[in-house]
């Protein structure tokens, strides 16, 4: 191995180890790794500049500003509050309707504010029916995660994989090009949660519901919600975040403090919604790249005074943007030093005799379970170049393998620390670690099987 390859490998191992350890902020870890690679000459300044100016970073920055404008207008909170009224008509089914609504919203907006705003509503709807919120908070997080699979902008992971693919000479994905695969996975995963997943929590949930009923009886049948044994933290309240993979500490809830109580400002809400729809339409019809349309939409909101410059900066989520930029630099080092090709060659030697479908099956599984240990951005950076290299070696289209990275790197269900919304509901619902393993591991396997069934249909080899 050359010096550059050894240096890139050592930096990668250190970055991954630091993210697993969870004591340092993942964006700081990624930037520190990028700085070391730059100092050692493994990557050049031009590659560093390219990472910070990558389309994924620009697109996410614009989308964060637009989403924050919609959140500040009270639009999202208004929709979720209105959904609470469904409980009187549909009972517990109304809770699942709201969860489904939040999942679909997750295809277009950042997942964290959706869960932060929806979780208190789901809690109150459950308590009004005398049910434990534990039955529904975990499915809420999972549904929003699967909603992120619906579009290219549904999650930063999709944009990052698209960016890495473009850097490797592959054509960019369209906004709704992955929707067929993502929708299939979301529908099958949602059906599992509705019919089986939530029931796996019945034992602990039933015990809590019995405690609630006993306390109501002991205190004269007072309001049900008063006796929820585990307090949901107020929006913005700080709690210790368990250590875990990188995404576990992303998504500062302070940014959305009092978001659930924010009144609807009709003019502001309509303007931000129109701009958002226009951004999506421009990108969907191929009139401009998503990075250009999102950036233009964010600037338009500021010029129209729908959101102030200060508010726009507050909504930028720099910890995510800098994490992605740093990981792009590390990913570039794997390519320029030949490490990605070497890793792909080792994997190809094992799977070559079995053909592209088996190769995709193994690759999807490795990516999926790596996501339960590492952050989404890390997995996207590590596996996107390998996806392209495997496809080239097998003389097939790289798109099925890249879509597998998008799906598997986002479908992280088996641990509470594998995705930021899992961490939020883990704390809110006082789940145990094994609750996530019990419900999330089968969901991992189900989404894996579904992905393997539909990816070759929508993206033939």
Q: How far apart are CA 379 and CA 234, in angstroms?
A: 32
Identify the burial level of 264 via C-beta atoms within 10 angstroms of its C-beta, where 0-12 means exposed, 13-18 middle and 19 or more buried: middle
Count Cβ atoms below 10 Å from residue 90 Cβ, excluding itself: 12
Buried b (16+ CB within 10 A) or exposed e, 164-196: bbebbebeebbbbbbbbbbbbbbebbbebbbee
Helix and strand element counts for the chain (H, E): 22, 0
Binned at pLDDT 50, 70 and 90, residue 191 comes out as very high
pLDDT at 230: 36
Local structure of residue 252 (DSSP, 8 states): -
Residues 6+ positions from 410 with CB-CB distance below 8 Å? 145, 148, 149, 155, 157, 158, 371, 376, 419
Question: pLDDT value at position 245?
Answer: 39
Tokens coding 41: 């000459």
Most confident of 52-66, 138-152, 191-205, 406-420: 138-152
CB contact at 8 A, 69 and 57: no
Q: Does 308 have pLDDT greater than 60?
A: yes
Q: Is residue 169 part of a domain?
A: yes
Do 61 and 298 form a contact (C-beta atoms < 8 A)? Answer: yes
**Is 244 a domain residue?**
no
- Looking at residue 295, its pLDDT comes to 92
How far, in Å, CA of 347 to CA of 367, rounded?
A: 13
Average pLDDT, the chain: 81
Positive or negative, the CA dihedral 162, 165, 167, 169 is negative
Centre a 10 Å sphere on the Cβ of residue 399 and count the other Cβ atoms it contains: 22
Does residue 242 register a pLDDT over 60? no
Q: Which of 212-221, 290-299, 348-357 has the highest mean pLDDT?
A: 290-299
Nearest alpha carbon to residue 156 among 373, 297, 324, 322: 324
The SS3 call for residue 35 is helix
pLDDT tens-digit map of 97-117: 989 988 998 888 777 767 877
User: Whole domain around residue 188: which residue ranges?
Assistant: 3-228+251-458
DSSP string, 78-125: HHHHHHHTTHHHHTHHHHHHHHHHHHHHTTTS-HHHHHHHHHHHHHHH
Give the residue among 444, 446, 451 at the shortest CA–CA distance from 361: 451
Higher pLDDT, residue 181 or 215: 181
Supply the pLDDT for residue 439: 92
pLDDT at 377 over 60: yes
Domain count of the fold of the chain: 1
What was the pLDDT predicted at 155?
Answer: 84
> Between helices 134-147 and 420-428, what is the axis angle to 10°?
170
Does 242 fall in a domain?
Answer: no
Q: Would you state the pLDDT for residue 425?
A: 82
Rounded distance between C-alpha atoms, residue 233 and residue 62, angstroms: 30
How far apart are the C-alpha atoms of 76 and 269, rounded to whole Å? 9
Other Cβ atoms within 10 Å of 312 Cβ, number: 21
Centroid of chain to Cα 110: 8
In a domain, 163, yes or no: yes
Residue 238 has pLDDT above 70, yes or no: no
Q: Is residue 410 part of a domain?
A: yes
pLDDT of residue 251: 38
- Contact at 8 Å (CB) between 7 and 42? yes
pLDDT at 30: 85
Q: Given a cut of 60, is residue 304 above it in pLDDT? A: yes
Q: Is residue 427 part of a domain?
A: yes
Does residue 80 have a pLDDT over 70?
no
Q: 236 lies in a domain? A: no
Percent of the chain with pLDDT over 90: 28
Q: How far apart are CA 406 and CA 162, in angstroms?
A: 9
pLDDT of residue 221: 54
Name the least confident of 259-268, 294-303, 309-318.
259-268
Q: What does the pLDDT read at residue 38?
A: 93
- Give the torsion sign (CA, 293, 298, 302, 305): positive
Length of the chain: 461
Rg (CA), the chain: 22
Q: Is residue 277 assigned to a domain?
A: yes
Q: Which of 151-165, 341-355, 442-456 is the least confident region? A: 341-355
- Where residue 401 falls among pLDDT bands split at 50, 70, 90? very high
Over 80: is that where the pLDDT of 136 sits?
yes
With a cut of 90, say whether residue 298 has pLDDT above it: yes
Let me know the angle formed at the C-alpha of 155 by 259 and 183, rounded to the nearest 5 degrees: 105
- The DSSP 8-state label assigned to residue 423 in this structure reads H
Higher pLDDT, 303 or 167: 303
């Amino acid at each position: 191995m050359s010096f550059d390859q050894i240096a890139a490998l050592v930096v990668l191992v250190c970055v991954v180890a630091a993210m697993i350890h969870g004591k340092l902020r993942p964006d700081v870890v990624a930037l520190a790794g990028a700085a070391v690679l730059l100092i050692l000459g493994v990557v050049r300044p031009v590659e560093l500049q390219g990472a910070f100016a990558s389309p994924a970073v620009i697109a996410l920055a614009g989308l964060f500003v637009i989403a924050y404008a919609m959140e500040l207008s009270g639009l999202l909170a208004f929709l979720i509050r209105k959904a609470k009224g469904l409980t009187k008509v549909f009972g517990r089914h109304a809770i699942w309707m709201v969860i489904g609504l939040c999942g679909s919203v997750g295809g277009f907006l950042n997942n964290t504010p959706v869960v932060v705003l929806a979780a208190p509503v789901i809690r109150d709807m459950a308590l009004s029916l005398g049910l434990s919120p534990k039955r529904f908070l975990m499915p809420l997080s999972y549904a929003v995660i699967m909603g992120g699979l619906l579009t290219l902008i549904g999650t930063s992971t999709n944009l990052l994989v698209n960016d890495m693919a473009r850097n490797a000479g592959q054509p960019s994905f369209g906004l709704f090009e992955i929707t067929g695969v993502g929708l299939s996975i979301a529908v099958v995963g949602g059906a599992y949660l509705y019919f089986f997943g939530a029931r796996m929590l019945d034992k602990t949930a039933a015990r809590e519901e019995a405690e609630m009923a006993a306390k109501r009886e002991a205190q004269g049948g007072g309001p049900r919600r008063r006796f929820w044994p585990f307090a949901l933290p107020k929006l913005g309240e700080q709690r210790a975040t368990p250590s875990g993979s990188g995404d576990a500490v992303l998504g500062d809830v302070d940014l959305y403090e009092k978001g659930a109580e924010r009144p609807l400002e009709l003019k502001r809400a309509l303007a931000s919604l129109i701009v958002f729809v226009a951004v999506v339409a421009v990108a969907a019809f191929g009139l401009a790249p998503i990075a250009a349309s999102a950036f233009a939409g964010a600037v338009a909101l500021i010029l129209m005074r729908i959101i102030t410059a200060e508010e726009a900066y507050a909504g930028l989520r720099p910890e995510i943007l800098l994490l992605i930029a740093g990981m792009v630099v590390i990913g570039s080092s794997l390519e320029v030093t030949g490490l990605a090709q070497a890793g792909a060659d080792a994997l190809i030697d094992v799977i070559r005799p079995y053909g592209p479908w088996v190769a995709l099956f193994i690759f999807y599984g490795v990516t999926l379970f790596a996501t339960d240990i590492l952050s989404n951005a890390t997995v996207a950076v590590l596996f996107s170049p390998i996806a392209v290299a495997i496809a080239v070696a097998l003389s097939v289209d790289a798109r099925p393998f890249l879509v597998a990275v998008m799906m598997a790197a986002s479908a992280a269900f088996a641990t509470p620390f594998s995705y930021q919304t899992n961490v939020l509901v883990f704390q809110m619902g006082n789940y145990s670690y094994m609750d996530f393993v019990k419900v999330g591991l089968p969901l991992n396997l189900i989404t894996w099987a579904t992905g393997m069934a539909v990816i070759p249909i929508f993206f033939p080899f």
